[in-house]
């Protein structure tokens, strides 16, 4: 059976699943539901983004902008949520969504 572990009171114990994938000591990745790509973020260096260290509910500062040929993805990532700015050119522009659990693209 595929049951969730149980707490002593009998209720299901939900385990947090990582939204980030750690590449190395200074890089993490997340899957973007807006543009459909995996984005790499440099952290832990003077030139990198500020990072709260959470692999399940990350916050990065400042905002994150990715430009590829013919595509623009721009968001603020706070507490595991992505607030896409209106300057994105995908279907989630102007919306706020949770970062999905890392599936390993």
Average pLDDT score over the chain = 86
Tell me what percent of the residues of the chain surpass a pLDDT of 90.
70
Q: Mind listing the pLDDT tens digit for each residue in 2-44?
A: 444 444 555 544 556 899 999 999 999 999 999 898 999 999 8
Note the pLDDT of residue 26. Answer: 94
* Cβ atoms within 10 Å of 70's Cβ, excluding its own: 6
Q: Per-residue confidence at 103, pLDDT binned at 50, 70, 90?
A: confident
Beta-carbon-side half-sphere exposure of residue 95 (alpha carbons within 13 Å): 12
Who's near 39: CB < 8 A, 6+ residues apart? 29, 30, 32, 64, 66, 73
Specify whether the CB–CB gap between 68 and 30 falls below 8 A.
Answer: no
């Amino acid at each position: 059976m595929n049951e969730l572990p149980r707490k002593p009171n009998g209720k299901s114990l939900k385990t947090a699943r990582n939204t980030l994938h750690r590449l190395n000591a200074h890089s993490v990745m997340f899957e973007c539901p807006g543009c459909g790509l995996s984005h790499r973020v440099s952290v832990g260096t003077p030139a990198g983004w500020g990072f709260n260290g959470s692999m399940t509910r990350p916050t990065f500062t400042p905002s994150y902008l990715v430009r590829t040929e013919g595509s623009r993805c721009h968001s603020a990532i706070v507490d595991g949520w992505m607030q896409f700015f209106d300057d994105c050119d995908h279907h989630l522009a102007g919306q706020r969504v949770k970062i999905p659990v890392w599936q390993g693209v």
